[in-house]
Structure formats: structure tokens, C-alpha cells
Amino acid sequence: MRILNASGCLDALAAPEVARQLDAFVTKTVTPLPREGNAPPRIAETAHGMLNAIGLANPGRERFLAEHLPRLRELGVPLWVSVGGFCAADYAETCSGLANIEAVELNLSCPNVDEAADSAAEIVAACRRATELPLYAKLSAAHPDVAEVARAVAAAGADGLSLINTLRAVALDKHLRPALARGSGGLSGLALKPIALHAVSVCHEATGLPIVGMGGIESGRDALEFAACGARDVALGTVLFSDPGAPARVRAELAAACAEAGVATPDDVRSLAKSPETERKVPA
């Protein structure tokens, strides 16, 4: 099981020592044009997670390729580039400019991008034509049937899935007004874990594709639970803000959690993964 960061949760150039603990570094989502992001406040705490409305702030495709990517290469860590956009052509053009990286993660939960199965499949199909790099489709669990979206992107040529993105939510300040300037934002952290485990289970069952599981992972035990639901790899997001040493710690804890579960590696529990829906259909 590889340990990655979740897109947008680590600035590898500002914290190279954190990035070097990872098996691969995933960039913040890159869009065709530069984006300033939303006005502050863009981050708020909630009881069981964090709310953000960063708004995909990024330098844009051209500056990313010319300035950021060469500096990221110097880290010596395998790179995944997270690609975003507003239509299939946006995604495909960025993909066609990428080379010598380990994989592309398609952020299919961008603002203004319709998360329906056919729109997601259209984006993946356009990117498939644009690159031979491995394509991981990153889905949110906001869709009523995430497994249907997973099947559609698999049929369109995705090589893997990244699950899950944040979920839209609101937090109020002491004056009962939204804590974020934008009103709502994306909820991440602990509250996402049970939702993410379900999404990983049903998408693993639906597609059998390799899955990077994420959503509230804080410990090695959490990572092993994602493996037990079908994830091959995991990504750490919100935990990195409070514990920059999390990748090394989670890796050590994962070995201990395997020993406690009586298995040699997380792959051994993945092979037992069954979705809760399937289990329910099995007669007692």
C-alpha cells in the first residue's frame, strides 16, 4: 500500500521534508487559467472535520508546467498531477501537455463540472485520447450512486479511482452567519471516513480498478480499514495540517495494524473486501 497526500493538502515546495515521506506527491488541482481562489475566510473548523472554500487557487497550466513542475521534479518523489477544468477539452489539453510523471488524477468534482456519470465519462474519454499516462478519476460521494459513476469512468478508460473528494457543507460563526466568506465549502477530515469507506467498497466491487482511498485517514488502522474495503493505496489530507509527520507515522502504524490483524500486508485484507450491499444480499 502506497501512502500519498490528498490533492491540495500539501505544498511540497514549501514543505519538501513532508513530501519526501510520501510514496508519491499529488499536486493541487491545475486549471487551464490561473485562479486566485475565493475571498477569506476560506477555512473553518467543525466538530469532526474541516471546511474549506479555497476555490482551486492555482498558478494555471502554463506557469505550472514551466515553473512548478520542474521544481517539483527536484524533490525526487514520483509525481501525480491533479487536473481540473470546466469542460472535457480543458482537461484533455492539460493532459496532452504532461509527460514524465507517474499518473494523472482527474478532479471530476470541480466547480461548474456536472458530476453525472455521462459527463464524468466524457471527460475521462477525452483525456484517454490525449495521453497514455495512467488516469485516476477522482470522484465525490455526492452523487446518489457513486458506483454508477465509477463504472462509467472505467468504461471510458480510467485506470484507477481516487475516492473521495470533500462534501459540500456549511459551518456557522458565533453570530449565526456562515463562517466561510463564500457561504458553503467542502467538508474534509474525520466526518468523511465512513462515507469514504462505503464509496471505496461499492466502487471496488463495481469496477475492480485500483483505488486510492482518502477521507479522514489519521492512523495506520484507518488505512487498513480502507484496504479492507478495497483500496490499494491511501492518501492523507486534512491530517497533514495538524501532523506533518503523518506519512511516516501512518506507515509505521500500518505495519503494526497488519500484525495485530494477523496479516502480512494490507493486500491480504483487500482480497476479502466485499461491499456492504453485497453482504446484505447473501442469505444468512
Ligand X SMILES: Cc1cc2nc3c(=O)[nH]c(=O)nc-3n(C[C@H](O)[C@H](O)[C@H](O)COP(=O)(O)O)c2cc1C
Decide if residue 160 touches ligand X (CB under 6 A): no
Decide if residue 38 touches ligand X (CB under 6 A): no
Rounded distance, CA 25 to CA 8, Å? 11
Decide if residue 31 touches ligand X (CB under 6 A): no
Decide if residue 275 touches ligand X (CB under 6 A): no
Least CB distance to ligand X at residue 282 (A):
31
Q: Which of 21, 46, 165, 201 binds ligand X (CB under 6 A)?
A: 165
Is 110 among the catalytic positions? yes
Decide if residue 188 touches ligand X (CB under 6 A): yes
Least CB distance to ligand X at residue 237 (A):
2
Q: Which stretch binds ligand X (CB under 6 A): 47-55, 173-181, 200-208, 270-278?
A: 47-55
Minimum CB distance to ligand X smaller for 50 or for 263: 50
Decide if residue 52 touches ligand X (CB under 6 A): yes
Q: What is the largest CA-CA distance in the chain?
A: 59
Q: Which stretch binds ligand X (CB under 6 A): 59-67, 129-137, 211-219, 275-283?
A: 211-219
Residue 242: CB partners within 8 Å, gap ≥ 6? none
Q: Which of 252, 257, 254, 212 is nearest to 230 (CA)?
A: 212
Minimum CB distance to ligand X smaller for 8 or for 178: 8
Rounded distance, CA 8 to CA 42, Å? 13
Decide if residue 207 touches ligand X (CB under 6 A): no
Minimum CB distance to ligand X smaller for 1 or for 217: 217
Q: Which of 106, 134, 102, 99 is nearest to 121 (CA)?
A: 106
Residue linked to cell 499529488: 26
Decide if residue 94 touches ligand X (CB under 6 A): no
Decide if residue 214 touches ligand X (CB under 6 A): yes
Least CB distance to ligand X at residue 262 (A):
27
Decide if residue 185 touches ligand X (CB under 6 A): no
Decide if residue 238 touches ligand X (CB under 6 A): yes
Residue in 95, 110, 203, 258 annotated catalytic: 110
Minimum CB distance to ligand X smaller for 135 or for 192: 192
Minimum CB distance to ligand X smaller for 24 or for 236: 236
Decide if residue 6 touches ligand X (CB under 6 A): yes
Active site residues: 110
Q: Which residues bind ligand X (CB under 6 A)?
A: 6-9, 28-29, 50, 52, 54, 56, 82, 107, 138, 165-166, 188-189, 192, 214-217, 236-238
